[in-house]
Structure 1
């Protein structure tokens, strides 16, 4: 960091770029959290929306957001800036969402096994979601988890394909192909429902 601007000098975090805030956080954390707080303020809403759309409910999304913010707080000191901060943040978010999704899936399997008639319960849930075709959330539940994450990172987080590929550890062409196929499947699945609206 430039000696002309020591970390203790007063500054307005909102005037700084993500990269400048990361540099400030490197030198300030854990004594001063202004730069970190500004980074979280900038991405908080989109972060929550990404989690909510991936996980399908606000409660789990809120839990994951809290976990992500803690991981960012403790990980910023080691963030080397090899990628953009935004890409790094959504990479953490993606991994946390996958972990939460797996936990919930295991929990649902257990509840279904303990339920008197899990098939009836599943049929009711399927009917309710298929009848309600409004909004991205209702559509995403019918897409597999990997395709769902690609769509969420593209539409909600507004990331470039290369950033999505980096986050998901996939090739660029494979990411684009999965994105296109996911959109095609959604169009095909909901074409009848869309015609009746």
Structure 2
């Protein structure tokens, strides 16, 4: 195996994911540090990466779940393909948040539901998760890179090991979908605070749908 191949294999099995300055600072003009005011979202963002990596066979080697400067997770034993999907894991925070709010809020008694504190708390959690449910720019770039590497690796894999149909269904289609998703999110959210506010509004409205009127 050449030095280049060894280096590529090594990089395939290691992944470090972190948030980016845009996520942390897009409310800075309003005097709000998102990592401090909405810290549950940052913690859950990093936890989503870590959980996805562990469930896909990776091993967590280092993590900063929260600091005022952001967070990160490092994983080993992660393939090109699973690394691409792990990069997009925070996207699952949105539907998960709505489901948890629905189940949790519906289980509360009437008095608790009609109070002021609980709806405000739920709204704060919804905003927190909405802000950090968007994968960071490093996450998205990592996903694009690993999706392409996974497809290249599959192309070099002998057909005797994987039939063309299996290659297409198991590797090509998921990697192409993840790459398109990453590119779309990168173009949509990277330079547009308006789109981030819209994303936050949608998730918050979905959460408020379960509050009493």
Category of TM-score, reference length = shorter chain: 0.3 to 0.5
More strand by share: 2
TM-score (norm 1): 0.40
Between the two structures, name the one with larger relative contact order (CA 8 Å, sep ≥ 6). Answer: 2
TM-score (norm 2): 0.38
